[in-house]
Structure 1
Amino acid sequence: MPSPSVPPLSRPTRCPPPTSRTPTTTPTCRNSPGSSPTCGGWPKLADGAPERLTAALAPLVDGYRAWIARREAAVDDPASHLGPYRLDAADALGKARDAADRISAGISRLATDPVARAAFGFANRAMHLQRVHTKAAAGRHNAADRLLDDVLSEVDVPANRSWRPFQLAFILLCLPALADPDHPERSDDRRSAVADLLWFPTGGGKTKVYLGLTAFTLAVCRLAPASGGLDPTAGVAVLMRYTLRLLTIQQFQRATALICACETLRQAGPSRRGATPFRIGLWVGGRVTPNRTDGAEVWLSERRRGTGLRAGGGGSSHQLTS
């Protein structure tokens, strides 16, 4: 019986994969309606009296609320085609209004709480100090003969001493709860407790926000009265965790630059900041750093003799490169 004829296979049609381009988001005060171009300057925020701080920060939340109002109007605009998503839009806008209220509460806290205001000034000074010195160190890496003061004058420009709007807004949003151990956002009540998540595309400046909040927290611990009779200079104030080894080391270096800036300010500042130095530690596996002091001493001895790392594959104590 003859077999049925099978038509020849045709070459598959090549279809290009779907593509989508997401433009880089780099918000500045200039394109944030209602905010001042200098709203986030660290020197200005570090030395502001209550009235000046409020005047500098209020446009940020005012601009955000104006943006929310425009989005609310867009929901009812037939041209936006948001009708099927009205409930989702209302939920998102409600959360945005809550965030605006929390930012406003942070500004009010700075205006009325001397401890929070002093800690905020400390944080801005520390951020300014660590940023320009980190930039200067990088600038002298291949030009060690250049004077530090000359390099500092080049890098101490507004772009290296200011917050982006989303950075400053997130700090203000978190500030009341960090300044008050009894704040409802830090309670055990699930209805009021808050854990804030900051998301922004890579390179947008999330770490800068975390460092600013770290400096504020360290200052509050030193400036506020001891809570429950505990020593405010003892214990751990901030924990930072990263999932990749390389990222852990990079962020450890950035955090250490901040701690050095905080310690410089502590030594030069009033006695209220305490006599105990600000310190930082790196707690990772033994393949990155020695887990014991004697292991670190062995590594250091081998390093001085030029014999390299230990045969057992132990980590290096030398994690700071600049």
Structure 2
Amino acid sequence: MLLQVIADWILPTYNLLAINYALFSLWGIVSLGISITLAYTEVQITNPRGTFLLEFLLIAITFTLSFATGKALFNHPINPVTIAHRGVNQKNGVPNTLESLKKTIKYHPDYIEMDVHMTKDNKFIVLHDNNLKKLAGIKAHPEDLTLAELKKLNVTANNHQTKLTDFDTYLKYANQHHQKLLIELKTTPNNATDFANIFAKRYYANIIENHHQLHTLDFQTLMILQNDIPKGNLNYLMPYNLTIPEENIHAYGMRYSTLSPDFVAINRQKHKLVYTWTPNSRLAINKALSLGVYGIVTDNVSQLHVAIKEAQHWSDAERLLQVLLYS
């Protein structure tokens, strides 16, 4: 860190993060080499010059690879897409309702993330949970009720009360105000296939024309949608960073607590996008910014805007500190 602070002072216009990363790696390799040498001091070296050249070559290769790794991990712009989680900002309304959408649009997020369930009569309601107990106080699933029945319910959250909103109304308002949506399709084992087919057929043209995005946790639904929706409008939600699927997927949504620099860097090199959800504290947002994700889904989009502006002025030392803290 001291070396990085000095470098920032002497050469403030150069990004030396990759070099510093290589220096850290080189320090580790040299330390290991010294330890091995001390452990075998009784061994007689018959060709000191050849041994030195071999050690120098290994160190040079390690330094080069580390530099390349550091460049891939850290040398990226900090300008992520901003996404308001469930259509709210700082608890300014009941999530996933028209009232909160109207308020949150004023904060100018790039996207508003929201959730859609299919109803008993094969229509679509804007709602996150698969049970209405928490919001409406009744033990029922969205698929058990018709759209008309769902729209009559009073829902309460964040000290606000309103009615549920059907997807057509929500979508129409967003389009009228040129607000792009990140739409999560909430399927169940009972309706996954029907959901994907009906939704794609009904909203394909609208999604393409207004540049909306779709994402889902259900891989089967994603594969069905790929037959009708361009891959540039489809994202796959992965709760945990366990592996990188090899399928032809344009973008991933990842829980921020499971993100790692290598996951983001590998996908960046493959020209795939990585969104992360849902960092709400300033520390969590800084982690996401330091890793260089494409988009950030948060409940506090106004704070995210401020954090991005500050992060864009991080010195190399500050950026390195963020990476070391959160990697």
The structure carrying a bigger strand percent of its residues is 2
TM-score normalised by the shorter chain: which range applies?
under 0.3
Normalising to structure 1: TM-score of the pair? 0.21
More helix per residue: 1 or 2? 1
The structure showing larger relative contact order (alpha-carbon pairs under 8 Å, at least 6 residues apart) is 2
